[in-house]
Structures are given as structure tokens and as C-alpha cells.
Amino acid sequence: MARVITASEPSWTAPFTGLSPRQSGKLITALRREGADPVRKGRPWSLPVEDRVLLVAAYWRTNLTLRHLAPLFGVSKSAADRIIDDVAPSLALQQRKRFRKNTVLIVDGTLIPTNRSHRKVRTRVEHACARMKSWKILRDCRLKGDGVHHATLGVARLHNLTLAA
């Protein structure tokens, strides 16, 4: 199958990831450094790591079914599913191990009286939640198991990269 969408064409990167081609390159470099594309025995992936990351981001951004998304990248539905299962955890933002003692954590929907510093933090949390809803995968969720967890952390990582620019 001929690929319609590929990361080698920079114009496809921004609509599906929200990243500039330069930021996308930094993400791929970081993923390779973290071991997301190891050389291993067996059959190689049909797509390079750049296209696999673009496929996962397109899946999260558009929430297309695999039956619709796979032909856009020139792979089978089952290959697209395997790519998402493999790449999504590596795209996920690494969680903090511990918080300092006596740290106050503010969660969306918390009904507590707040002073001025808490309101500023809460505003940031509310704005982050609103920005994450622009990713269709989080609005119309069809994921099972750890899929929602990986999608949320992956979208957060991509969003943080856009803010860092």
C-alpha cells in the first residue's frame, strides 16, 4: 500500500501532533534516547519510528477507528493496533515519583475554599484540562485498559512540548 500520510513530509506533522517539525524532531530524538526504537530480533516494523509516532498522534487527535486510520499510513488494521500498543506507553509523560512532604495537590473539581495562590494553580489546571479536550481521543473515548492512561499522559507530553517552544 502507498502511504498517504508520512512524517517525512513536514506539512503532516503540525495538524496531527500540534508540534512544529523541529519540536517533532526533538521528540523523536528523546524517544530514541529513552529506548523507544531498539534493534531487536524478528520482523522489523513496517513504518519508521517517526511515522509510528505520527500514527499514534493522529489516532489521539482525530479518534478515527483503526479501520479508517490504517490505510492512511499504508498498514493493516492489526499493524496499526500493534503500533499504538507499542508506541503509546513510550510517548506517555513520565510520572513524578514522589511529592514533597506537606504538598497540597489540587484536583479538577475540588470543592475547597482557596486563597490567592491556590486559585492561580487551580486556574492553570482548569486551562490544561480545557486544552486537552481539543484532542478527540479524550472527548469521545473508546479505549480500554491502560489506553486512556497512556493517551492522557501522551497528550500531556505533546502539549508540554508545544508550550516549551
Distance from C-alpha of 95 to C-alpha of 76, rounded to nearest angstrom = 32
101 is a domain residue = no
Which residue range is the domain that position 30 belongs to? 10-96+127-164
> Which residues lie closer than 8 Å to 128 by C-beta, 6 or more apart?
156, 159
Question: At 64, is the pLDDT very low, low, confident or very high (cuts 50, 70, 90)?
Answer: confident
- 3-18 average pLDDT score: 85
Number of domains composing the chain: 1
Distance from C-alpha of 142 to C-alpha of 69, rounded to nearest angstrom = 15
113 is a domain residue = no
Question: At 165, is the pLDDT very low, low, confident or very high (cuts 50, 70, 90)?
Answer: low
Q: By percentage, how much of the chain surpasses pLDDT 70? A: 83
118 is a domain residue = no
The predicted structure's pLDDT at residue 113: 64
pLDDT tens digits along 71-115: 999 999 999 999 998 888 888 877 666 778 887 766 656 566 667
Give the number of other CB atoms < 10 A from CB of residue 139: 10
pLDDT tens digits along 128-153: 777 777 777 766 666 667 777 788 88
Give the number of other CB atoms < 10 A from CB of residue 82: 15
35 is a domain residue = yes
Distance from C-alpha of 137 to C-alpha of 23, rounded to nearest angstrom = 22
14 is a domain residue = yes
Least confident piece of the model among 14-23, 29-38, 116-125: 116-125
104 is a domain residue = no
116 is a domain residue = no
Question: At 45, is the pLDDT very low, low, confident or very high (cuts 50, 70, 90)?
Answer: confident
Amino acid at 101: K
103 is a domain residue = no
Distance from C-alpha of 56 to C-alpha of 42, rounded to nearest angstrom = 22
Query: Which three three-digit cell numbers place residue 33?
Result: 534516547
Question: At 15, is the pLDDT very low, low, confident or very high (cuts 50, 70, 90)?
Answer: confident
